[in-house]
Structure 1
Amino acid sequence: MPLYKSLTINKNTKVLIWKIEESFNELNTNVLLTDKSQTRLDGMKSKLHQRGFLSVRHLLNAVGYSDADLVYDEFGKPHLKDGKHISITHSFTFSGIIVSNDIPVGIDIEKQRDKILKIAHKFTPVEEYKTIANHDALISKLTIVWGAKESLYKIYGKKKLLFLHHIYVDDFRFADEKTTGEIRYDGENSKYDIHFLEFEGFTCVYVFKKSYKVAELQSC
């Protein structure tokens, strides 16, 4: 069961993406879950969610961790017991994680859908997109912005942030595959680097603290 994609940000930070093609039984093989995780898995009504949950455990294994190494705080943010940073995402047939030894990180995978046009006003100033006449390009850009804000929300890790008022994403060109963003909340401003990629009708966005030196990305 190979990885779909692995990105090396630098020697301390990696992104791994899994394409979920296996059955539940295949994914449930060679995965040891804690009692709490097993109860959570058993309580999921959707087979797709179950397979996403299990695929994340395979991604953990790929970077040397098990389900028991993963814990969640009172806000639902995942942490690794050894103190390293992790963020997790799952959308339909793809899942992903980003793991870093030394910096907070966030990741989000989203399926590109027309639905985002209906909710865009809730997370970004829609008037900024009136010059985008191409329908697919508009959906693509909005999905990147949503994924960036979702990743920044995850990296902050608390429940009070509002996408429209506290999280900002600078404009970007698709070809650059990166931009910058900022969280402005409670009198403090923090800046982040944002990277994105698109594949098979999905968008993956991952973020980390700005000015962190990034090695040339290697993918496989």
Structure 2
Amino acid sequence: MPLHRLLRLSPTAVLGLWHRTETAAALGALLPAGAGAAYAALLPAAGPERQAQWLAGRVLAHAVAAALWPGAPAPLVQNDATGRPYLAGPGRPAGAVVSLSHSGAWAAALLTAGGRAGVDVEVVRDKARRIAPKFLSAAELAAAQAGPADDAHYTLLWSAKETLYKLAARRGLIFKQQLLLEPLPEPFAAAPAGEIPAALHLAEGQTRHRVCYSQPAAGYVLTYCWESEVPAFIH
């Protein structure tokens, strides 16, 4: 059972990482008793690799929930109409929040007892660098291009904005205008872990955040952000 790590971020938040080596069938056998049939009905109609990634996220979410709420009935991870995961069932504590991500052989899950949460794990590749003008603001792009930024650095920037997007928990945000990294971190190779100051610019006003980042393994980037309460808007 390759549960890589459970990290207690606070008394009300736990982050989990899973290094997947199992097949979809093996992962299904790791689900809590009674949950297998419910997840079988929700399993995406995709190939075995995609199904294994999906199930790894659910198995991990249950491991994180057990660490955060020991002894409580296992909640069911479902998705709303926009695809965002949420906890359901009698085992769901009031106000609980879940954020999931998977890429390649890794899955990440962040659960909190309330507030907001976002997590993202990404395989390092050249895609983020190629599409950087689409998700970085002009100032962010200029800062990235001024330094020795490589594929890992651009993947980190993309992942940080994905985490902010999940934290905001709303559709239709423009990454290069409303999800801003201020200032950009140093090149990722020189700083394998740290925090990025960030801001959400929404119609109601602005909120400030700190996105944590690290490398769970060579060739991967992990970012996450959580809040026990929704912060007040700055106008």
Q: Distance in 2 between matches of 1:43 and 1:73?
A: 17
Per the alignment, in what secondary structure is the counterpart of residue 4 of structure 1?
Answer: strand
Normalising by structure 1, we get a TM-score of 0.84
2:219 paired with 1:206: no
Per the alignment, in what secondary structure is the counterpart of residue 199 of structure 2?
Answer: strand
Counterpart in 2 of 1:184? 201
CA contact (8 A) 2:196 2:210 kept: yes
Per the alignment, in what secondary structure is the counterpart of residue 172 of structure 2?
Answer: coil
2:45 paired with 1:54: no
Q: 2:161 aligns with which of 123, 129, 149?
A: 149
Q: 1:128 aligns with which of 135, 143, 166?
A: 143
Alignment of 1:69-218 (within 5 A): 69-81=76-88, 82=93, 83-124=95-136, 125=138, 126-133=141-148, 137-170=149-182, 171-173=184-186, 174=188, 175=191, 177-198=194-215, 199-209=217-227
Q: CA deviation at 1:131?
A: 2.1
CA contact (8 A) 1:7 1:15 kept: yes
CA contact (8 A) 2:61 2:111 kept: no
Q: CA deviation at 1:115?
A: 1.9
Mind listing any 5+ residue stretches in structure 1 that lack a counterpart? 213-220
Q: Distance in 1 between matches of 2:78 and 2:20?
A: 23
Per the alignment, in what secondary structure is the counterpart of residue 102 of structure 1?
Answer: coil
Once the two structures are superposed, residues 87-115 of structure 1 have per-residue CA deviations (whole angstroms, 9 ceiling, x without a partner) of: 00010111110011132010000000012
Per the alignment, in what secondary structure is the counterpart of residue 114 of structure 2?
Answer: coil
Range 167-176 or range 3-12, more displaced: 167-176
The structure showing larger relative contact order (alpha-carbon pairs under 8 Å, at least 6 residues apart) is: 1
- The code of the aligned residue for 1:143 comes to T
Change (3 A) 1:188 1:55: same
Q: Distance in 2 between matches of 1:155 and 1:72?
A: 16
Give the number of equivalent residue pairs: 207
CA contact (8 A) 1:129 1:138 kept: no
- The code of the aligned residue for 2:40 comes to Q
Change (3 A) 1:208 1:154: same
Change (3 A) 1:159 1:52: same
CA contact (8 A) 1:191 1:209 kept: no
Alignment of 1:3-18 (within 5 A): 3-18=3-18
Mind listing any 5+ residue stretches in structure 2 that lack a counterpart? 67-71, 231-235
Q: Distance in 2 between matches of 1:113 and 1:207?
A: 23
Counterpart in 2 of 1:218? none
Aligned-residue sequence identity (percent) comes to 22
Change (3 A) 1:66 1:182: farther
Change (3 A) 1:109 1:129: same
Per the alignment, in what secondary structure is the counterpart of residue 194 of structure 1?
Answer: strand
